[in-house]
Chain A
Amino acid sequence: MTWVLALILLPLVGALVLCGLRKNDRTAMIVALTFSIVEFLLMIPMWASYHPSGDRLQQTSSVDWIPTFGVHISFGIDGIALIMIAVITFLVPIVIGALGTADKLPEGRSAGGYLALILVQQALTIAVFAATDVFLFYVLFEIMLIPMYFLIGGYGGANRQYAAVKFFLYSFLGGLIMLASAIGAYSIAADKLGKGTFDWATLVTVVRDAPTGTQIWLFLGFFLAFAIKAPLVPFHTWLPDAAKEAPIGVAVLIVGVLDKVGTFGFLRYCLPMFPAASKTLAPLVLILAVIGVLYGSILAAGQQDLKRFVAYVSIAHFGFIALGIFAFTQQATVGSVTYMLNHSLATGMLIVVLGFVMARGGSTRISDYGGMYKVTPLLGGMLLIAGLSTLSLPGTNSFVSEFLVLLGSFETEPVYAILASVGMVLAAVYVLWLYQRLMTGPVRGDALVGAGGGPGTAIAPELGAKKTIKDLGAKELAMLVPLVVLIIGLGFYPKPVLDTVGPSVQATLSAVQGGH
């Protein structure tokens, strides 16, 4: 059994165990944490046994599933999938830790069910990144929605039903169109090889030679599914709703991990399978990407709600990622791939920290807060670190990726790169403005000083601050410190990640350049 298979199966086992623990929340918590930490530890030998300069796909395993249609259950990883899987295993313990610190279960719900769903989600997401059969990928892409549907719809906020259905339908319909394209690719293979297959490695070599017109149609099928998932403007409106209604931990999963399936799909499916279409349609994607950067940033600055704020920040960042992918240079693409990782860490941390803010204040409205730094300096410092990584300050992880994306895309697409650079200023606007509103000034706002000290009322901190508002505790620090270490560590020494993804990126790019 490969490490990859082990990583997919372990959380499923964990979920089964949790189903038997519905009565005891505390034990469920310990079991889930144990499984997720063992999962993280299992990731380490997987990374260690990966050879960046080795085969395109490594640690492969395959069994027949529907032989008539050439469908296999096959898994394997390249450098890009590897780091995405790695970041999932890193984040899930934090997601689990969020229950009880940032999240509370709704009345009458048990922790076991919630945590089981999280672990199932983890297994399915890892499987999506590891799938090397296009049909299997499609199936997992759709099945992955089910636990998430229940996580949002069952454990979310007031408007959770609407958000869950919107999320499900949006993604589901994208998937259906992708299925049509996948079948199209299958039939091209059937024509050329005499026998159809969904095996990714085989399909790539066959479909890439199809006429550009055909490629464009098939490309669009995949593209739309991924653009919804990513999400690119204008397919983005499900994300703010989903992020707002979802519990904090689930929001980390959605924004930090699930969405990356979209940009991962661009790299794994759109580019190598349809190189000619990718190049033809690149200007369209680049325009959407730049619009995403600017529009997402402006909207982030205009949000009144903390969770919707994070969603729009992510939309801006996905614009950067898409820009880098469709600029077709080594620097830009490596930048995008590392951006996928770094965005998970930075935004993951941002959501968790804001979760802690909301757990203290009990409100998601930004205007309900003010002057928190006086009361909770540690929390303020953590928000600042997450914010600085979000605005890509040099010395944090995100700087390396954003700089590479812009530098690399400037080589081939200077106009788009310059337009996207404006996003650097806008990022400072929305991050620092948020920080200013939450943390600085006199302690004020409903959430902090209670009724009578409504928004706009200034109250001396020693008189007004609720005594109940405490600074970060040990549990919360334990969740944040690993993130801080990685954010700064990868800011100064990103080389291990760059070396891991470099050859896979190069292979992806040479597939595009080699196309007609």
Chain B
Amino acid sequence: MTASSWLLVAFPALGALILLAGGRRTDAWGHLLGCATVIASFVYGLVLFFGSDGKPVDTTIYSWFPVGNLSVDLGFRIDALSLVFVLLITGVGSLIHVYSIGYMADDPGRRKFFGYLNLFVASMLVLVLGNNFISLYLGWEGVGLASYLLIGWYTDRPSAATAAKKAFLMNRVGDVGLAIAIFLMFKYLGTVTYAGVFEHIGSAPPGVITAIAILLLLGACGKSGQFPLQAWLPDAMEGPTPVSALIHAATMVTAGVYLVARSNPIFNETSDGRLIVALVGAFTLLLGSIIGCAYDDIKKVLAYSTVSQIGYMMLAVGLGPFGYALGIMHLLTHGFFKAGLFLGAGSVMHAMNDEVDMRKFGGLYKRMPITFATFGLGYLALIGFPFLSGYFSKDAIIEAAFGQEGWRGWALGLAAMLGAALTAFYMTRLVLMTFFGKERWKDIKSSDGRDFHPHESPSVMTVPMIILAIGSVGAGAFFSLGGRLSSWLTPSLGELSEAEHSAIPHALIPWITVLLSALGVLVAWLLFGRRETPVERPQNVSAVVRAARKDLYGNALNEALVATPGMWLTRFSVYLDSRGVDGAVNGLAAALGGGSGRLRRLQNGFVRSYALSMLAGSFVLVLALLLVRFS
């Protein structure tokens, strides 16, 4: 059964091929094919899931590029971890494909859109199924391409093109880290397969193990929008909303967490590496939630929320055996509720002439009851309302963070707890501004001059939202009761350890967290529920809000450190090349040509004398080379 695991990838890959190469001939039924391939993969994934005991089974599809003692196969590993991801990707993927039929109904390029989505699903499946780091890398950059194409979907918007390029570039920085990690594995272990690397990693020098861990983390940061490579993810919201839901919330951006969890035998060997992962996660979760408080763009708030929630996952997997399974659990519950929230936001935008500024919304709960209900459940799940999904998965991470020894327990635990309060604040703000209060859209027009006529979305869009809402409610309890998920994941991630020590008594942590979250809700209500929200953005705000509106200067920093110096370096190099290097060549030729003018009487051809002078010039060059070498 597992031997035909390639079928999982083959369905969507074939779909992408047919839709992209088939051109307009496939316009009429393209969206149906796009959905069918992903659903087929989902069904086949279920079959594999129920036939598996979670233990790894490696299958080689074919030998990809074997050279000398390097053997690189395209190979897949079916195990507990990859199966969970297969179901997440194809399950949520199917729902979002179906939703897109409605969302993209008016777009003339809908067929191509489904081709790109299929390409994404196929690449993402390669990423999680690969049984060696190079197969993973194939999927890793493949999803990057799909993400690039879909962020830049509206090709005539310059901002979309810039955002797409930015996403690809920042990902590439991370990818180089991943690539160098692979080089290190091959140099020190002679293999790039999971089986080989995980078995022999202990024999590598400790410094090398830590270096590999940090380089893998760099790759993870790029893909998952973690500090310092987080700036691309909010910009990625330029893509159509289903893309934001599937790629930039539920699946692709969590690939970094997958990478760390998958490489757990490497991270188990290096406590420094784990600590850095946890710190990056803790820092990013605060960064994301602070910035999320300041934005008025509904999708950007959700995007920074994603940055922040992935921070939680990173923090969890950085705790090593105490947290791998918790990180994956939060990843799965987040997949449900965040995808649901994005689809809800898409539904709102669909109703509101593609407007994203929440200041122009208000009072929408009456107009869009289903969207409001599903969005509301996703919201409650995200802020950790007791016994909904987020409550189980996030609380577990906070408890595990406090379980660390010494200052780590305090630092990581408090960061996670504070993040929970901020999450409650910005999400309540979002819900209040969108669904409650005065119907501010009544008095204004959208940017294209039309009136707003909000309405509920068609059922092809609401049904996926309802299903995801059910997941947002029940997934957490389903996964965590009786340790169901963590024991299923044991073959891939090892036993989930429970800390004996805790900085704050275990029993108190859920109470404090819930209390802090309630406080966040309360403050948000005082600021945005009780008072009327102005349509215009207030300008006389505190320095903190100003900084948060500017992404805490993340983009300014990139600009100052990379973009501007890069531009000057480029200009300088172009000048150097035309005036310096080429100038020297021309100057040398001219000088020697002039000097040999007297020789020309002895010569009878122009080209030959020119050649002679160049010959002399070449000896100068050789001499220069030798001087460089021997001095």
Chain A interface residues (CB < 8 Å from chain B): 165, 168-170, 172-174, 176-177, 216, 220, 224, 233-237, 281, 284, 295, 298-299, 301-303, 329-331, 334-335, 371, 373-374, 380, 388, 393-395, 400, 403-404, 406-408, 410-411, 414, 417-418, 421-422, 424-425, 428-429, 432-433, 436, 439-443, 461, 492-495, 498, 502, 506
Contact = CB atoms under 8 A, between A and B. Distances in A.
A422 B629 CA distance: 26
A331 B68 CA distance: 7
A436 B161 contact: yes
B527 interface: no
Given A284-B625, A428-B168, A440-B161, A302 B574 contact: yes
B570 A407 contact: no
Contacts of B162: 436
Given A177-B622, A410-B187, A417-B183, A169 B172 contact: no
B582 A237 contact: yes
B155 A374 contact: yes
Contacts of A235: 621
Contacts of B629: 216, 281, 284
Contact of B68 (A169, A170, A330): A330
A421 B179 contact: yes
Nearest to B17: A488
Interface string B568-592: 0111011001000110010001000
Contact of B158 (A373, A395, A440): A440
B296 to A, nearest CB: 26
Nearest to A509: B68
A400 B138 contact: no
Given A173-B615, A331-B67, A394-B138, A424 B145 contact: no
B173 interface: yes
11 contacts: A169-B610, A176-B611, A177-B618, A216-B629, A224-B622, A236-B581, A393-B145, A424-B175, A428-B169, A440-B156, A440-B158
Given A237-B582, A440-B161, A498-B67, A421 B176 contact: yes
A286 to B, nearest CB: 13
Contact of A331 (B70, B571, B618, B625): B70
Given A299-B573, A461-B156, A502-B67, A424 B169 contact: no
Given A374-B156, A424-B179, A432 B168 contact: yes
Contacts of B626: 220
Nearest to A424: B176
Interface string B60-79: 00111111111000100000
B311 interface: no
A404 B175 CA distance: 16
B194 interface: no
Query: Which 3 pairs, one residue from A and one from B, show the smallest C-beta to C-beta distance?
Result: A330-B68, A440-B161, A410-B183
B137 interface: yes
A220 B172 contact: no
Given A331-B68, A334-B68, A424-B175, A441 B156 contact: yes
A506 B398 CA distance: 56
A299 B573 CA distance: 6
Contact of B65 (A220, A281, A404, A421): A404
Nearest to B186: A407
Interface in B42-94: 62-70, 74
A393 B141 contact: yes
Given A224-B621, A299-B577, A400 B610 contact: no
B574 A299 contact: yes
B614 interface: yes
A453 B625 CA distance: 51
Contacts of B412: none
B471 interface: no
Contacts of B182: 407
Interface residues of B, number: 64
A453 B83 CA distance: 55
A394 B157 CA distance: 28
B384 interface: no
Contacts of A400: 65
Interface in B156-204: 156-158, 160-162, 164-165, 168-169, 172-173, 175-176, 179-180, 182-184, 186-187
Nearest to B185: A407
A213 to B, nearest CB: 11
A225 B24 CA distance: 51
Contacts of B165: 432-433, 436
Contacts of A172: 611, 614
Contacts of B69: 330
B54 to A, nearest CB: 29
Nearest to B165: A432
Interface in B609-631: 610-611, 614-615, 617-618, 621-622, 625-626, 628-629
B187 A330 contact: no
Given A428-B172, A492-B74, 6 more contacts: A172-B611, A174-B618, A233-B581, A331-B70, A408-B67, A442-B156
Contacts of A407: 70, 182-183, 186
B138 A373 contact: no
B261 to A, nearest CB: 22
Contacts of A174: 618
Contacts of B141: 393-395
Contacts of B589: 169
B67 A388 contact: no
A406 B74 CA distance: 20
B154 to A, nearest CB: 9
Nearest to B612: A173
Contact of A429 (B169, B184, B187, B574): B169
A502 B66 CA distance: 10
Contact of A237 (B160, B585, B625, B628): B585
B409 interface: no
B587 to A, nearest CB: 12
Could you say which of B134, B184, B570, B626 has the most chain A C-beta atoms within 10 Å of its C-beta?
B570
A173 B65 contact: no
B628 A284 contact: yes
B141 to A, nearest CB: 5
B585 to A, nearest CB: 5
Contacts of B571: 302
Interface in B90-146: 134, 137-138, 140-142, 145
A422 B615 contact: no
B580 to A, nearest CB: 9
Contacts of A284: 625, 628-629
B150 to A, nearest CB: 13
B413 interface: no
